[in-house]
Structure 1
């Protein structure tokens, strides 16, 4: 999924979509002039729309309308809240009870956002019940990662978001289907997000497309009450910044019992779910075996997927203009900081003339602005106080190209916050 064609939800098979850009609201991927959790600037089926209300309420309202419209036929609805998340914007009525209980303002706002999500999930479940769909609708609720700060409740698990310790990656997954699965029980089977697709395909009697290899496995047997598999299935997790993977950097090999972190730390999860006792010296052969399994996995995904970024297609009838943001920057200086610099990997759908507009915070002094597309380079002068530089008609051939804009200020350079790329019609050139 992404912010531009062909990676938007509306390009990837969803018949209807209401989305924010990037990883959340009030972030670098927002359309200018930026957004908020209240009356957010969203995209409906790929087109900008200003919503009214609080973001989680808006998304839930849209999901409820979708369910009502499709009540008489099978449907799939993916409701992904960006809350709870910084900047912790929430109506005071949700934060006030937690602040009154003695929690600091940040924690009160965080728990207020959780309470609002809980309320909205309840509204969706109530809708299913009111429509008579509760018994035969599968509902899956899960989170994406552990707490961001060590002072949050984390069930005694080690570390936080961004790490591959259990406190960063073990999350709740609640599944409800009254027509088939008995509730009120815990399924003790090693599982991951990659298991959801094969599970839903199996229980809905849908065959995957021929030749499609799925990484996950169906959880239907343990959900149906069968004993959890006894074989030591292995899951592989790796997460770090950068454009390419670094072997044994922030990675984990996870089995039903054993877990190897960064190729050297070994833990027995059955005896020590808090990962408090490192035991690699006691099991050197096991460490070597798990390291070998990791190396085979990394070689496999490297061979079958590659690490070239998916290119943003510009100048197509599906999206014109295309808004590029720092969210999709590549390169060693890529960041959301005002001093950051990066490039975009693009594919021009058609050759022709393009208008390229760079947007940035108002300059404090005169600066030169350069545009590089492939091998060609163009320059503009931007005066003090300016917040944009426009390259009105740039000839670009069809095909892949790297685009970079630099703001040159003395001996330093930085990138813009946004770049708009529009293919010009023949009429606009005459």
Structure 2
């Protein structure tokens, strides 16, 4: 009887404890839901080659951008926001919060736009913190495993490959009815590319808006990057107003983008999402063509202000101060830490960032950011040279190194680098070089640059990301010669790869217009083999062993020397597929 009583009492107590635990669990669950609901959605829009002057609110009286102008009036503008002077480096820094040299990205093509797969991206961090993640537009950080968007934290993706629609490996292609890649599968879409990307983003939001998770949308358009394709209804009015055809088409593409921004904002309002959604709009670098740039010197690829200073707008109604404009320096590396803070997403202790958190500025909790300098450098070739096409930007002064040498892969350097110094606060057009009169300031900035460059070298020794040939992750594996092949002195030398499994591989090569017999040659790990191809053949089987190194594959016409195609085409592209 006593045992039975004890058991009954124990059971009663157990039920009481269980009820308390369940109640506490419900409480914690409610608190978690409240916390989750308080976390804002995020939309990050990045336009391509839209410079500082390519908006109405920067004094461009020829270009109509009413929705961007409204966003500037109702949100926050950072008027001294900087990006790298070309595409892929900006995207690497934006996604990681780190200077792009640390990520394996060197420039935009020819093996220089491959971000290491172990880099931790904004999408990975937000996904791990409970966000639904999607990208719609231009990735440009690697088209192979483990560098693709789906490998780097994006649960849904609709993108084009390479640096632009119509570039290899996706040739031929057009901004209208484009061939795109949805979650890794190629498909034909209907409509104009910017319209398609914005609609896909809105459809993604519409599916996720009632779910338990907030969403992160990355919307990097390829407009207004070349080729300059847009409906005549957008660009002919600018031409009729007296602008040349090139500028008219660029402005037409921007007007279309602005219209799509207006549709997105209208959708957020209708869906009662505007007050719970952070919207950022950023340009990725200066304009490619010569046109109005608000008095700034230089264009795309230049480290003068016109090449690296871009529009930055931030909107979060009720949270960001309406109409606030700040002239403090900020950059692409700051976006990730800022969004982590605003979304209450923890930063792993092992993850070292170069950017800082701007949230206190955007929320109007602090007027001053920490004193610092920002660093920029981009060039062709896979071997960075100190000072080449570089810049150091402080709150007032700017040091420019070897200006105009972006495309010079063999920079002829003297003992003393070519340097220029400008007081950006009073001379934003960089007209008055102070290098001879402000020697102390120039030396300070020079020392900062040299420390930065050494730090970049020590990160990965400027080695681009590695393509991993793994048929379980990517089958077949497409190796694009122009975009991803290693180039030396203007010639493709093959691809840096890691082959995870030894076996028999079918190798197919794009011979282009060559209709001759010859040899398909494979050089892997110091061993060169070949198979003869008839004039109608383009593929053969080869044994490849696992390992890491330079995989060089080419077709050589019988009786002729090896040719080295250099244009942005598909000739020399290779498809690998393991057969066993």
Alpha-carbon offset, residue 406 of structure 1: 2.8
Match among 523, 539, 543 for residue 390 of structure 1: 539
Residue of structure 2 equivalent to 1:10: 150
Alpha-carbon offset, residue 91 of structure 1: 1.5
Say whether residues 1:404 and 2:560 are aligned partners.
Answer: no
Say whether residues 1:376 and 2:527 are aligned partners.
Answer: yes
Residue of structure 1 equivalent to 2:4: none
Residue of structure 1 equivalent to 2:436: 281
1:168-220 per-position Cα deviation (integer Å, ceiling 9, x unaligned): 00000110000201222211211001101111111222211222111100111
Residue of structure 2 equivalent to 1:47: 185
Instruction: Tell me whether 261-270 or 302-311 shows the greater mean CA deviation.
Output: 302-311
Match among 276, 280, 291 for residue 140 of structure 1: 280
Residue of structure 2 equivalent to 1:304: 459
5+ long unaligned stretches in structure 2: 1-140, 402-416, 566-570
Q: Indicate if the aligned counterparts of 1:341 and 1:406 stay in contact, CA closer than 8 A.
A: no
Q: Indicate if the aligned counterparts of 2:509 and 2:554 stay in contact, CA closer than 8 A.
A: no
- Residues 367, 353 of structure 1: alpha-carbon distance in 2 compared, 3 angstrom cutoff: closer
1:90-117 per-position Cα deviation (integer Å, ceiling 9, x unaligned): 1121112112222222222111111111
Match among 300, 308, 330 for residue 169 of structure 1: 308
CA distance in 2, matches of 1:98, 1:342: 45
Say whether residues 1:424 and 2:579 are aligned partners.
Answer: yes
Alpha-carbon offset, residue 26 of structure 1: 0.6
Residue of structure 1 equivalent to 2:255: 115
Say whether residues 1:155 and 2:294 are aligned partners.
Answer: yes
CA distance in 1, matches of 2:187, 2:493: 28
Say whether residues 1:413 and 2:563 are aligned partners.
Answer: yes
Alpha-carbon offset, residue 412 of structure 1: 5.0
Residue of structure 1 equivalent to 2:512: 361
Residue of structure 1 equivalent to 2:56: none
1:212-251 per-position Cα deviation (integer Å, ceiling 9, x unaligned): 1111001112222255437541011110011121100011
Alpha-carbon offset, residue 70 of structure 1: 1.2
CA distance in 2, matches of 1:243, 1:45: 30
Question: 1:217-296 alignment to 2 at 5 Å?
Answer: 217-226=356-365, 228-229=367-368, 232-262=371-401, 264-296=419-451
TM-score, normalising length: structure 2: 0.69
Q: Indicate if the aligned counterparts of 1:4 and 1:319 stay in contact, CA closer than 8 A.
A: yes
Alpha-carbon offset, residue 404 of structure 1: 1.6
Q: Secondary structure at the match of 1:414?
A: coil
1:362-416 per-position Cα deviation (integer Å, ceiling 9, x unaligned): 11655544222222223344566x5x6212x211112213222234353452253
Say whether residues 1:211 and 2:360 are aligned partners.
Answer: no
Instruction: Tell me whether 402-411 or 288-297 shows the greater mean CA deviation.
Output: 402-411
- Residues 381, 107 of structure 1: alpha-carbon distance in 2 compared, 3 angstrom cutoff: farther
Indicate the structure (1 or 2) with the bigger Cα radius of gyration: 2
Residue of structure 2 equivalent to 1:330: 486
Alpha-carbon offset, residue 287 of structure 1: 1.4
CA distance in 2, matches of 1:122, 1:408: 53
Greater helix share, structure number: 2
Match among 218, 222, 230 for residue 78 of structure 1: 218
CA distance in 1, matches of 2:494, 2:455: 28
Instruction: Tell me whether 95-104 or 68-77 shows the greater mean CA deviation.
Output: 95-104
Q: Secondary structure at the match of 1:107?
A: helix
TM-score, normalising length: structure 1: 0.92
1:122-160 per-position Cα deviation (integer Å, ceiling 9, x unaligned): 11111111110101210000111111123x111100011
CA distance in 1, matches of 2:305, 2:421: 13
CA distance in 2, matches of 1:353, 1:2: 25
Residue of structure 2 equivalent to 1:90: 230
- Residues 216, 63 of structure 1: alpha-carbon distance in 2 compared, 3 angstrom cutoff: same
Residue of structure 1 equivalent to 2:25: none
Alpha-carbon offset, residue 354 of structure 1: 0.6
| Count of aligned positions | 414
Q: Indicate if the aligned counterparts of 2:471 and 2:577 stay in contact, CA closer than 8 A.
A: no
Q: Secondary structure at the match of 2:221?
A: coil
Say whether residues 1:127 and 2:248 are aligned partners.
Answer: no
Question: 1:30-69 alignment to 2 at 5 Å?
Answer: 30=170, 33-69=171-207
CA distance in 2, matches of 1:396, 1:250: 40
CA distance in 2, matches of 1:365, 1:29: 23
Question: How big is the alpha-carbon RMSD for the aligned residues of Structure 1 and Structure 2?
Answer: 1.8
CA distance in 2, matches of 1:343, 1:267: 42
Q: Indicate if the aligned counterparts of 1:408 and 1:414 stay in contact, CA closer than 8 A.
A: no
CA distance in 1, matches of 2:379, 2:424: 23
CA distance in 1, matches of 2:169, 2:314: 32
